[in-house]
Copies of this chain bind each other. A is one copy, B any other.
């Protein structure tokens, strides 16, 4: 009778194959928020379907209004009804941004040895292709050794996570029965440190807004009219600069309506974590502004914020141009906590801008689907089983943490369907996700896959009771 050790051994022995396949997946530039990424999205989806088919799951590429979902499930067994576990990952990636800032080509990953660590660089290396690969590899090995999966399995791989999951609500509505499960494991989150695993129990909501301010005139000669005509960059700068007061609080009227202060229990848990030197990795907070009255960790995980993600207007170079531009654009994102409604925040922001718009100027807003914050039940038996499984692999206690990030599917499943969700992952602060030279390492990939074996066993043991 095979056992867990055999599965782990299978992962170790076939690790070079798993790494090779993952690098192949990372080399597909499946950027979901740019039209140019469309062909690569389709290619990545087809590639994943083929992989899932090979390992004994019946997979299909399900078209949506946007990018397709790869949906796979294990064959129905003839015996008694088994519990059903859903695994979620996303195969789309962020845009590359300014490619000149990358030292490594974003879509040509290979293993490089750096101070004894075997790293690979690439967009999606950490967020989130390695992540989804950990559970796929664990499921493959489990079935290879046991001849079957430990439960009914659903794998759901999304292609729109990095652009706000606009097609997800319709997809879930249309496939509600197919998605029925006892627990959804969401693998798109961070570890606590290089050596300590974590489960994320609290996620922020997210609203993106693009705002373009236009003056009554098109571009003008700034020498002639700069002293008198409206300058959209100046107006936009002033509005952006006024979004926070001198205590770091957001000035939008009603922004904090419905926001409750952090429960004492959570505050205490986080207080202990806040002393960890690994919390921020190599990120330097010097020069940043944290809302008065909150620790950085509380602000990151528990307080709503607004960030300016991009700004563009007038002359972009390379040379000088004496221009008073006709318009200027900023891109912002709001990170929401429990009690805030995405569309309400969007409305309040737009009202805030409208009220500050000089006469004669105009504004155009553009926004994509928002999501609410999620707070998961720390007492869920699936969560405690997962914590035990992680501890077996890592040899350290599992941290229950929050995050400033958002995963729209968790909101849809947890808030929308009332489904049990467990959010796990192996990202670290030093992975440079959403940034140039995004990276991951083979050690973490292997331990990630091994972690899922532990989790599967713990969940199976629980289920059997």
In contact, B309 and A312 (Cβ under 8 angstroms) = no
Residue A229 at the B interface, CB < 8 A? yes
Residue A230 at the B interface, CB < 8 A? yes
In contact, A220 and B309 (Cβ under 8 angstroms) = no
Residue A2 at the B interface, CB < 8 A? no
* Partner of A241 from B95, B241, B283 at Cβ < 8 Å: B241
Residues of B within 8 A of A331 (CB): 314-315, 317, 320-321
Segment touching B, from A28-36, A46-54, A107-115, A417-425: A28-36
Interface code A309-325, partner B: CB below 8 Å = 1, 0 otherwise? 11111111111111111
- Please report the C-alpha to C-alpha distance between residue A376 and residue B453 in the assembled complex, in whole angstroms: 85
In contact, B320 and A283 (Cβ under 8 angstroms) = no
Residues of B within 8 A of A405 (CB): 221, 223-224
In contact, B333 and A320 (Cβ under 8 angstroms) = yes
Residues of B within 8 A of A222 (CB): 307, 309, 333, 335, 434
Segment touching B, from A74-82, A140-148, A296-304, A439-447: A296-304
Residues of B within 8 A of A164 (CB): 320
Nearest CB of B to A277, in Å: 15
- Please report the C-alpha to C-alpha distance between residue A360 and residue B283 in the assembled complex, in whole angstroms: 12
Asked if A218 meets B435 with Cβ closer than 8 Å, knowing A227-B300, A320-B164, the reply is yes
Residues of B within 8 A of A116 (CB): none
In contact, A299 and B228 (Cβ under 8 angstroms) = yes
Name the interface residues of A337-372: CB closer than 8 Å to any CB of B: 358-361, 368
Name the interface residues of A211-254: CB closer than 8 Å to any CB of B: 215-231, 233-238, 240-242, 244
In contact, B287 and A216 (Cβ under 8 angstroms) = yes
In contact, A315 and B321 (Cβ under 8 angstroms) = no
Nearest CB of B to A352, in Å: 15
In contact, B434 and A322 (Cβ under 8 angstroms) = yes
In contact, B406 and A308 (Cβ under 8 angstroms) = no
In contact, A404 and B333 (Cβ under 8 angstroms) = no
Residue A285 at the B interface, CB < 8 A? yes
In contact, A225 and B404 (Cβ under 8 angstroms) = yes
Residues of B within 8 A of A313 (CB): 308, 310-311
Residue A163 at the B interface, CB < 8 A? yes
Residue A433 at the B interface, CB < 8 A? yes
In contact, B314 and A309 (Cβ under 8 angstroms) = yes
Residues of B within 8 A of A404 (CB): 221, 223-227
In contact, A227 and B290 (Cβ under 8 angstroms) = yes
Residue A158 at the B interface, CB < 8 A? no
The 7 closest A-B pairs by CB, nearest first: A33-B319, A286-B360, A310-B315, A226-B307, A230-B287, A287-B358, A310-B314
**Can you name 6 A-B pairs with beta carbons within 8 Å?**
A204-B223, A221-B405, A224-B405, A228-B285, A237-B237, A311-B311
Given A219-B436, A223-B405, 4 additional A-B pairs, CB 8 A:
A94-B321, A163-B319, A221-B435, A226-B305
